[in-house]
Amino acid sequence: MTTKEAEKVECLLKCPHCGEEIPYENVSFCPKCGKSLEVQQNLTDLVLAAAMLTIISATFSAGLGYLAFDRYISFSSYPDLTLGFLVVGVLSTIVSVFGIAGGIFMLKRKQVNFSMLGTILLLVSAVGNYITLQYYRLQYSLQYGFMEIALFSAILILIFSILSGIFVTASKAEFA
C-alpha cells in the first residue's frame, strides 16, 4: 500500500465547510478553516430521528390498516356498517407504503420531496382515519377495543409525523 492510500484509509472525516480531510477522531473544529464540525453531526442525528419516526409511524399505520381489514372481514355481512373499516384499512395500508419508502429515502439522504410526501401522507392519514371513525361511529368499532387502538395509533402517527416533518425541514441541507 502506498503512502497516499494509507492516508485515505486513515481519513475519518471531511469538513462540510471547506472539504479538508481530517485524519483525527475527536476533533470539534476543522484545522484548516476553523469552523465547527459539530453542526454536521447534529443534522445527521435529526435526519436519523426523522427517518425512524417516519418508519415507526408507517408501521403503526400498517397495523391499523390490518386491524381495520380484520374488522371489515369479520363483519362483512353488514356492508352498510363496515364501510368505515374498509376506508381506514385501505387508507392506512397505502399510506404506510409511502411512509416506509419516505423513511428509507431519509436514511439514504435522497429525494427530500418524496421523504416529505411520505411524512405528509402519514399525517393526512391519521387525521382522515380519525374523521372516518368518528363519522361512522362504527357499532362494531367499540367491540374488543378497536376504537381505542385506532385512536391511540392515529395520535401516535400524528405526533411522530409532525416531529419527522420538523426534523426533515431543519436538516434539508443534508439531502442530495
Q: In terms of pTM, does the model score above 0.85?
A: no
Pair 56, 127 in one domain: yes
Q: What is the CA radius of gyration of the chain?
A: 22
Each residue's pLDDT expressed in tens, for the chain with a length of 176 residues: 455 544 444 445 677 677 777 776 677 777 788 777 665 555 578 888 889 999 999 999 999 899 888 888 887 777 766 777 888 889 999 999 999 999 998 888 888 888 889 999 999 998 988 887 777 665 555 666 677 788 888 899 999 999 998 988 888 777 76
**CATH assignment at residue 115:** 1.20.120
Q: Do residue 19 and residue 54 come from a single domain? A: no
| Same domain, residue pair 152 and 80 | yes
Are both 4 and 72 inside the same structural domain? no
Same domain, 96 and 130: yes
Question: What domain count does the chain have?
Answer: 2
**Same domain membership, residue 20 and residue 65:** no
Domain span at residue 20 reads 1-36
Q: Do residues 67 and 7 share a domain? A: no
Nearest to 118 by CA among 171, 167, 51, 170: 51
Cβ neighbors of 21 (< 8 A, separation 6 or more) are 7, 11, 13, 14
Residue 36, strand partner residues: 29
